[in-house]
Structure 1
Amino acid sequence: MTFSVAVAGCTGYAGGELLRLLLGHHGVQIGNLTAGGSAGTLLGQHQPHLSPLADREVLPTSAENLAGHDVVFLALPHGASAEIAAQLSEETLVIDCGADYRLEDPEAWEQFYGTDHAGTWPYGLPELPENRHTLGRTTRIAVPGCYPTSASLALMPAVTAGLIDGTDVVVVAASGTSGAGKSSKPHLIGAETAGNVSAYGVGGVHRHTPEIAQNLQRMGATNPTVSFTPLLVPMSRGILATCTAPLKDPTTTAAQARAAYAEAFADETYLNLLPEGVWPQTKAVQASNRVDVQVTVDPAVNRLIAVAAIDNLTKGTAGGAIQSMNIALGMAEQTGLPLYGVAP
């Protein structure tokens, strides 16, 4: 069976990555492509790498243009998805790549996003406990943020195995510039980013902070606390997240931590525990849906250290969205999703 798919926000980075992956997905047929200000142009003007779709007209983003498809991906700015989603049939599988439906706590949403909370949809991170069951029974999916994807998967085995309790979690994650979207921003031009690393969203104010804490709670942490600091680094795509937390049992060894991760990842296609002593690097996972993870223990401070590398546009957004779509539609979870990166 082939499912028809529409993509709203097709001219942005997330929309382009969705289309790149969907072109290699044998279970879908790409339907309408929509956007805002670029409506009326041809897709090839914005996504020249997608040559099979170069002559497609970009339509205005409206419920009318998105209706009638089996699946609708919303790769829209935060706050723009709710109005469109409300007009689409409950029978349509709607997958929001923005933040509108990620958070469960309305107060947290209003604090970090400054608007009314639209609601909460099933969370599109299949590897979290019980999520596959939920995703297989829904027509509405909220795709995680890219930073929460990396940090949550780096820490999940430690929480579920009881190595840490989710308090005093510190996450420092470096991301490429595509995480900020495709809109022109002076601080993202080449002259500003080349040879430069900068911190932003410091002091608990980044919007992904409550999402990371929410995920730790879903894993079983009772009262998680997270300090999250993102870094902007001069590369186009990728995230390297270094996550640390105090050990519940200070006698836990690096070998015991590694054993817990190996057990947790044993049946996961896209969660890859690297060989001992090998540390994740963003180049290794570029353009893939894989998550490379390494874990150890710092006995001097009794802290677990887990490092994860993902491609923010693939596993961090479009790949995670399609992985969730596959589950919701009853297809093999790995369909259309690359396991291996590209080099150089």
Structure 2
Amino acid sequence: MTYRVAVAGASGYAGGEALRLLLAHPQVEIGAVTAHSNAGDPLGAHQPHLTPLADRILEPTTVEALRGHDAVILALPHGQSHEVAAQLGPDTVVVDCGADHRLEDPAAWAQFYGGEHPGTWPYGIPELPGHRERLRGARRVAVPGCYPTGASLAMVPALTAGLVRPDVVVVAASGTSGAGKAPKTNLIGSEVMGAVSAYGVGGVHRHTPEMIQNFGKASGEPVTVSFTPLLVPMPRGILSTVSAPVAQAGVTADEVRAVYEKAYGDEPFVRLLPAGQWPTTASTLGANTVHLQVAVDAAAGRVIVISALDNLTKGTAGAAVQCLNLALGLPETTGLPTVGVAP
């Protein structure tokens, strides 16, 4: 069976990546491709790498353009997708790459995004405990943020197993595509090349409450998260260093490794690297994968987990297609690459 899928926000990075993946999907026909300010342009003017779709004209992002599809992927700015989704019927699977439906706490939404909470949808990290079951056959899916994906897959097994206390520190370095395509002075080449900078410091980054939500569920108790994001001079990728204090002294790296092998041994998109090999973003470029490595800093009494992923693939659009497969009842891996591009 072939499913007709529309992509809203097709001229942006997330929308373009969704289209790249859908072009390789054997059971998808790409329907409407829409945009806002770029409506009326050929897609190739904004996504020249998508040669099979280069001549498609970007339609305005309207409910009329999106209706009638089996599924719609919304790659829209935060705060815009819920209005569109509310007008699409339950016969359409809607996968939202924005933040509108990720958070469960209305107070957290109001604090970090402002306005009325749009509601909560099934959360799109199938590898987290209990999530895959909710995503199978779902008609609405909230794709997680790119930072929370890497951080959550890194620390949730340790929290679930009680290896660490719920006091998590996340330091994550991201490429510039995570900020989207809109022109910003701090993202132009002369500002970024040769420089690493911190931003969103002190608990103000919008992905912080998402991490708190995921870590809190894993630990079963209140959790604190200190998150510091870094901007690094590369287009794609996130390398996260995630750590927490050990729950009991004497925890060994072998014990931690055994927990992660059990958690992810059967997961097609999460790879625990061999001991002594460290994740690098280059190995995940273009792939729907997360690479992990674990360590114990005995002197500091902390478990440390390093994760690497492509923020546009597993961090956004790849997760959207992975969840779309589950929602449509297809094999979860359909159309998704596990092999990166190197060098």
Normalised by the shorter chain, which TM-score bucket?
over 0.9
Q: How many residues of Structure 1 are paired with residues of Structure 2 in the alignment?
A: 343
Give, in whole Å, the separation in 1 of the partners of 2:137 and 2:46. 35
Code of the residue aligned with 2:21 in structure 1: it is L
Aligned to 1:64: 64
Letter in 1 for 2:34: T
Does structure 2 conserve the Cα–Cα contact (< 8 Å) formed by 1:165 and 1:221? no
Shift, 1:287, TM fit: 0.4
Q: 1:10 aligns to what SS in structure 2?
A: coil
The amino acid that maps onto 2:11 is T
Q: Shift of the alpha carbon at 1:20?
A: 0.2
Structure 1 unmatched runs, 5+: none
Specify the code of the residue in structure 1 equivalent to 2:57.
E
1:184 aligns with 2:183: yes
Superposed CA RMSD in Å reads 0.7
Distance in 2 (alpha carbons) for counterparts of 1:213 and 1:250: 25
The structural deviation recorded for 1:165 is 3.4
Is 2:99 aligned against 1:99? yes
Q: In the alignment, what sits opposite 1:44?
A: 44
Is the contact between residue 21 and residue 318 of structure 2 (CA under 8 Å) also seen in structure 1? yes
Q: How far is the alpha carbon of 1:115 from its aligned partner? A: 1.9
Query: Does the aligned pair in 1 maintain the 2:33–2:59 contact within 8 Å?
Result: yes
- Amino acid paired to 1:21: L
Q: Distance in 2 between matches of 1:196 and 1:50?
A: 30
Q: Single out whichever of 227-236 and 257-266 deviates more from structure 2.
A: 257-266
Distance in 2 separating the partners of 1:104 and 1:326: 24
SS at match of 2:229: strand
- 1-side partners of 2:319 and 2:214: how far apart? 15
- Between 1:58-67 and 1:134-143, the stretch displaced more is 134-143
The answer on 1:209 being equivalent to 2:208 is yes
Q: CA deviation at 1:11?
A: 0.2
Aligned runs of 1:108-257 on 2, under 5 Å? 108-166=108-166, 168-257=167-256
CA deviation profile, 1:224-283 (whole Å, cap 9, x unmatched):
110000000000000000001011111111111111111111110111001111111000
CA distance, structure 2, for counterparts of residue 70 and residue 164 of structure 1: 43
Residue 4 of structure 1: how far off its partner (Å): 0.4
1:328 corresponds to 2:327: yes
**Shift of the alpha carbon at 1:138?**
1.6
2:259, 2:94 → 1: CA distance?
Answer: 35
Matched with 1:15 is 15
CA distance in 2, matches of 1:48, 1:219: 42
Q: Percent identity?
A: 62
Check whether the contact 1:135–1:328 (CA below 8 A) recurs between aligned residues: yes
My pick for the range that moved more, 245-254 or 8-17, is 245-254
- SS of match in other structure, 1:236: coil
CA–CA distance in structure 2, aligned partners of residues 58 and 175 of structure 1: 29
- In 1, Cα distance between the equivalents of 2:195 and 2:115? 33
The 3-state SS of whatever aligns with 1:331 is: coil
How far 1:219 sits from its partner (Å)? 2.0
Does the 8 A contact of 2:208 with 2:225 survive in 1?
yes
Aligned to 1:35: 35
1:5-55 deviation per Cα after TM superposition (whole angstroms, max 9, x unaligned): 000000000000000000000011000000000001100000000000000
Alignment of 1:332-343 (within 5 A): 332-343=331-342
Amino acid at match of 1:78: H
Provide the rounded CA distance (Å) in 1 between the counterparts of 2:333 and 2:244.
Answer: 32
Using the alignment, how far apart are the partners of 1:76 and 1:185 within structure 2?
A: 18
Q: Secondary structure at 1:201's aligned position in 2?
A: coil
Contact 2:137 2:329 in 1 (8 A): no
The SS at the match of 1:121 is coil
CA deviation after TM superposition for structure 1 residue 116, in Å: 1.4
Q: Distance in 2 between matches of 1:202 and 1:114?
A: 19
Letter in 2 for 1:247: V
Q: Offset at 1:211?
A: 0.1
- 1:296 maps to 2:295: yes
Secondary structure in 1 matching 2:256: helix
- How far apart are 1:159 and its partner, in Å? 1.4
Distance 1:141 1:264 in 2: 23
TM-score (norm 2): 0.99
Shift of 1:221: 3.3
Please report how far the alpha carbon of residue 160 of structure 1 lies from its aligned counterpart in structure 2 after TM superposition.
1.8
**Matched position secondary structure for 2:221:** coil
Q: Match for 2:94: what amino acid? A: V
Contact 2:137 2:328 in 1 (8 A): no
Q: Letter of the aligned partner of 1:183 in structure 2?
A: A
Structure 1 residue 220 displacement after superposition: 3.5
Per the alignment, residue 54 of structure 1 pairs with: 54
Aligned to 1:80: 80
